[in-house]
Every structure is written in structure tokens, then in C-alpha cells.
Structure 1
Amino acid sequence: MTITTRHDLNIDSELHTFTHKAKGYDDTGFPVRVLDDDFAISVSPSSIRENDDAEDVVVTVKAGLGADVSSAVAVTLGPGTGTVAADIESTSASSASVTVDAAKRTGADTVSVNAVDDAERDEENEAISLTATSTEQGVYVGPAMIMIRDDDPDFTLSADVTEVDEDAGTVTVTFTATTDTPVGGIVNFSLATSGTAETADFTASPTAVPLQIDGGSTRGTATVTLTITDDGDDEPNETIIFDDADGAEVTGDKTYTLNSVTVTIIDNDDA
């Protein structure tokens, strides 16, 4: 009798029972234990924030009962699905070397991991992938992922006026930018307008709104004066979107971004 095993998606060693049948004899069963020779990788913590400093991550490797643990298991850290190398700091550790205890069948190593603090506001599913390679064992199950939690925008921008009637005339809007952590230096944003409202529908003074947050502060304000044009056109409500005009603000080693705010002009004309 020849018994052939194959790799599965776990590191469990399994006990199987085979039955021998022969005419005139009682059935005879005999056990066969398959010792799994794979490794499973896990990490703690399993996610890091994009704007945090480098963080120590514990990489744990658990070996199946049949795995060869005579040499350290090399675990490579690299871009996961949807992630590129530029999303991981070049100073981060690129690998971990885990020595698995032969008796406990597990071992761990600590590596420093850092994500690039970029200005992309709508990133999804970024991750650092941990995979293992070995000349002794060709199959590794459970490769781990360290998810990168996108934290852009860093500043929450709000306005005390979000709707104005078309016949409102002159309106002053105050913008407030807030963040959770005091900034490390002076941060300057420049708010500019876009949206469905055209230049004939309003004027803004100043046209580019400077918004400054002082070093060590978590808050900054700016004001803009809007003059709304009361025309005679029956039209849909129009929007004025205030957003960062000149891209992210880089201060020290930190990249700051903020969200946009919309002021809606409510049409007052009937067909």
C-alpha cells in the first residue's frame, strides 16, 4: 500500500485511519499520522498608522510537527496587495530572522516597521506582506499582513456657514482646522475654490484663503468674504468647494493634509 500526502492550508498534523479488508478475515484498521511541515506567520500589532513613528512589530512563526527547525526561518517584509514599495519607509527592516524553539515549535523576532506618511487622501487596502522562504521547506501557510491605516486628512476642516441663499448678498465664512496631535512646526494651508458655482455666481475675498496653524497648536482659523450674485436664472443649487490649493504641507518629517468643505448656494428663482 502506498500512501501519498499533499500540502494543505494549515499546520495541523493529522491522524488518519486506514482499513484493510480481506475475504474471510476481520477488517483491520491502522492509524497513519501525517506530520505537517509548514510554518504559520503572525504579527503583533497587525496594523500601523501611516503618520506614526517607526513601530516595533513582533513576528511569530509557528512550526508544524514535521517542519525542520534546525535553522532560522527568514521572513521577508514587502509590499502587499495594492501597495507599492514607496509606501514603506526605506529605513524599515526588510526581514526578520525567527529561531523556532524545537520543543515549543514556535519562535519570534522583533522588527521596526514604518509606513510612508504621504498626502493621498483616499487610499485603501494598503498592507505590508510578510512571507517566508527556505531551502528546506517549500510551502508556508498563513503569511501575515501588517495593514497600513491611512490617516489622511490629518486636519478636519469645518465652516460655520455651509449654505447661503442666492440673495444673501455678502457673507463672512469662518473656517476652522483641527487635529488631534499638536503640530511640530508652523503649518500653512491655502484654501482655493472649485465646484459647480461659476465666477459670475460669487466673488471671494481673498481669492486664496491663508490658513495657519502655529507650532505646538492643534487648531487654526481663517475667514473669507463671499459676495453672492442674485441672478434671475432658475437653476440647480450651486456649490463652492474650499480645498487645499497648493497640495500637502510638509513640516519637518510630517506631511499634513486636510479635507474639503462645501458651501452651497441655494437658488431662489422659480421657473
Structure 2
Amino acid sequence: MKVHHLNCGTMRPWGAGTLVCHVLLVESADGLVLVDTGFGTLDCRRPARFGRFRRYFFRPSFDAAEAAIHQVEALGYHRDDVRHIITTHFDADHIGGLADFPDAQVHVTAAEIREAMGSRAMPDRIRFRSDQWAHGPRIVEHDIDGEPWRGFAAARELSAIGPGFVLLSLPGHTRGHACVAVDAGHRWILHAGDAFFQCGTLEDDPRVPALTAFETAVAVDRKQVADNHSRLAELYRRRDPDMMIVCSHDPALFERARATATP
């Protein structure tokens, strides 16, 4: 399957340089598949959807040209060609584009939906932005209770989409956070979402303090986040030639993925 790497939301947080919203666009036998969506056209027109604190800290550009729908159309496709969207989690900078693809099936863990749509706890109501799913997306919930996959304890093959898509439970950032593995033919791409924020986490290089502080502050389970870092770093250090690990916001990993997208 051919995989396009899209930046669907440039952000410039205080003290952290420039970040991206790394989205995968996959050309599958059953149509196009998105992994996350970044910001959508409604976010660009109504920045308040993102939340006041996030706007202040992350300083998103809200450039409509970066919206997934416009990048899909620039490749010669129509919004209806996007049949499925797989979400790592329901934070606002990951699902803002759902409304731009109203007919797509939206795949997410059942645990994430319970927190995002069902919780009445104030932290969850602040974190998750209900106006981003007010259009009534076609949600497909998945309980991640399948076989282990490359050292991950729980994985679910998304057979409803087709071969080559695996949803991996990796809570910590949120209670239902997941990673998504996609078979690009010459390699697997493991999109880790917000399981880590910066490549220094995997490479044991210096990290940006502001991002480290934010990642710690918003985690629902800090121990799980630390365990996830260790697991992903171990996988990364193997330098497996048929596996590339990316996350949602690191620009260096995004550019590296784009540069090596075609074998």
C-alpha cells in the first residue's frame, strides 16, 4: 500500500520550536484510509474549537491549506474516497478533520470513546472537544484484546478495513490511546500518536523541556507513559529495517518519513 505523510497542523509552542500534526494517508484496496486527521476546516474557521489553553500554549497556525481534505483533493481524490479513519485518540489536534469526511467510518478504541463521549468528569470535558464530533461520525469501537504483536501485549487487526492495518493498545497519554501499524509494503509504519512527543525520547538525546513538561502534565497515567517510552525506545534501538516508528508531532521524524516513503 502506498502511504503519504501529511502535516495537517503546524504548531509553534512556547519554547518548543515548530511541531507538526503527522497524518498518514493510505491508498488501500478498499479506498483511502487516514490515520488521525489533524486540524480540519472547521477548526481553521472556528479556532475556539481547539480550546483556550491549547491555543495559548501550542499556537497553531490554523492554515486551511494544511487540512487533510485539501491535501487529499490536491492528490486528485475526493472526500468520499476516504472510507476509513483510524484515530490514535480523541484529543482535539487529532480529530479536528473528522467533519470533513462525514461518510468515513471512524475506528477508535472502546476505552477512548467511553472517556471522550461518556465521561462527565471535568478534566475529560475540558480535554475532549464535543463540537468536533457534533456532526455525528460513524464510530466503530474496538476492544483491543487480540494477539501480541512485535512485543506489544494487545493488538487488533482491522480486518474490516483490509490486511495491513493493526490497532495496538498503548494507554497512558489517554485511557484509550492506541498506536496504529500500517504495512506500506517495503516496511511497517508504526504511528505512535502521542505515546511520545519527540525523537529524543527514542534516541536518548536531549529533549525539549517545555514538551516534556506538557507531556507529563496531560498524561492520565505517568507510569504507563514512562513504560511506553521504554518499550518504544527498545523497539527503535533494534533498527529493524522493516519498521519505522513515528509520532504525531516531531518534525524531524515527519521529514524522515516523507524522505523515505518510496522504496
* Fold similarity call, TM over 0.5: no
Q: Which has the higher strand share?
A: 1
TM normalised by structure 1 equals 0.17
TM normalised by structure 2 equals 0.17
Q: Which has the higher helix share?
A: 2
